[in-house]
Amino acid sequence: MDQPGGFHHLPVLFDEVMEWLRPRGGGVYLDGTLGGGGHSEGILQAAGGEATLWGLDRDEAAIAAACERLRVYPGFHAIRGNFHDAKALLSAAGAVPLTGTLLDLGVSSHQLDTADRGFSYHEDAPLDMRMDRSRGMTAAEYLATVSREELRRVLTDYGEEKWAARIAQVLEERRAKAPILTTADLVAVVDAAIPKAVRRKDEGHPARRTFQAVRIAVNDELAPLDQALCDIADCLAPGGRLLVITFHSLEDRIVKSTFRKLQNPCVCPPKAPICTCGKKPLGKVLAGGAVKPSAEEVKRNPRSRSAKLRVFERFPRAGEQRR
């Protein structure tokens, strides 16, 4: 759907998010990846407009679009920032404890569809890829300075690209002659590195893994994720829930591992007769693992195909009451 300022936003797993988050009047919620505000609007509507919702995003276009969309809700408050810093930002705003939190990871439909952001391999545009365009290196600057070996590692670890070594080699050779400045330049590197016969057999665009890997590196999406999830879980009120939507296996593995650690943090040897480390479970994993989109949603929004939703609920601490 079109949002103010041309912002396109398709909330993924919308019904499932509402089911597991259980929005209610008087609750305090965090949408840590605000985007166009589609999930936030659903939360506020489900709570009868009587909830407080803090929307956090590092993209200035997302903040502007969501503020326009949600201006009718007095309980909506926007903060520009990264959800990796949510604990400090929320504490400074007096926004804790939280009844529920949603994180919808990855790149938004608007970012993909806005050519000059440089996220899409379908359009020729400057290589930017920054979610926050006010800071950090662009993808072009990153590719101009990253070493061949580091790029190979990034493509392998973040893109699960089998041709990582060859792509890194071709990029190094080409940037020695001319800088890699546009999305078309990067697509050309991938096309030159991967044999045509292999590209023809690829179920998707051959450059998609490279673009994903470079985007993750430019925005430092994965390294802080574990700690950010732990911090946000610690901000939950007793019985509060943390919902995370992921779109690729790298993110999902981190979320799954972190939730398991929060549920069972004990580091004592498996054969120890009693626990001596003193680490207590913060809560429990719900939904029996990952919730996936329905066939109807995938047909309606193909970008939801790889989405997974995981849910964590915090236990009350001694003497605490559920909100």
Return d(Cα 275, Cα 235) in angstroms, integer.
Answer: 26
Domain housing 153: 119-219
Same domain, residue pair 247 and 309: yes
Say how many domains are in the chain. Answer: 2
Return d(Cα 64, Cα 289) in angstroms, integer.
Answer: 35
Same domain, residue pair 95 and 161: no
Written as six digits, the tokens of 103 are 């994180």
Q: 281 to each of 62, 132, 266, how far by Cα in Å?
A: 35, 35, 8
- Classify residue 224 by its DSSP letter: T
Q: Hey, how many other C-beta atoms are within 10 angstroms of the C-beta on 291?
A: 19
On whether residue 158 sits in a domain, the answer given is yes
Q: State the CATH number of the domain containing residue 165.
A: 1.10.150.170
On whether residue 322 sits in a domain, the answer given is no
Same domain, residue pair 238 and 202: no
Q: Based on C-alpha coordinates, what's the Rg of the chain? A: 21
Q: Hey, how many other C-beta atoms are within 10 angstroms of the C-beta on 35?
A: 29
Written as six digits, the tokens of 264 are 């069972």
Q: State the CATH number of the domain containing residue 13.
A: 3.40.50.150
Q: How buried is residue 300: exposed, middle or buried, by Cβ count under 10 Å (0-12/13-18/19+)?
A: exposed
Same domain, residue pair 193 and 273: no
pLDDT of residue 114: 82
pLDDT of residue 202: 86
Same domain, residue pair 34 and 91: yes
pLDDT of residue 4: 46
Alpha carbon 198 to chain centroid distance?
30
Return d(Cα 43, Cα 197) in angstroms, integer.
Answer: 48
Mean pLDDT, consecutive 10-residue stretches, the chain (323 aa), reads 51 97 98 94 97 96 94 97 96 95 87 85 94 94 98 97 98 98 98 94 91 96 97 97 96 97 92 89 94 96 93 79 53
pLDDT of residue 1: 43
Q: Shortest CA distance to 40 belongs to which of 81, 11, 80, 82?
A: 11
Given 172, 188, 219, which residue is the final one in a domain?
219
**Are 10 and 303 in contact, with CB atoms under 8 Å apart?**
yes
Helix 183-193 and helix 208-219: axis angle, to 10°?
A: 130
On whether residue 271 sits in a domain, the answer given is yes
On whether residue 182 sits in a domain, the answer given is yes
pLDDT of residue 112: 78
Same domain, residue pair 86 and 230: yes
Same domain, residue pair 302 and 232: yes
Strand segments (E) across the chain: 2-3, 7-8, 28-31, 52-57, 76-80, 98-104, 236-246, 283-291, 308-314
pLDDT of residue 3: 47
On whether residue 321 sits in a domain, the answer given is no
Same domain, residue pair 139 and 205: yes
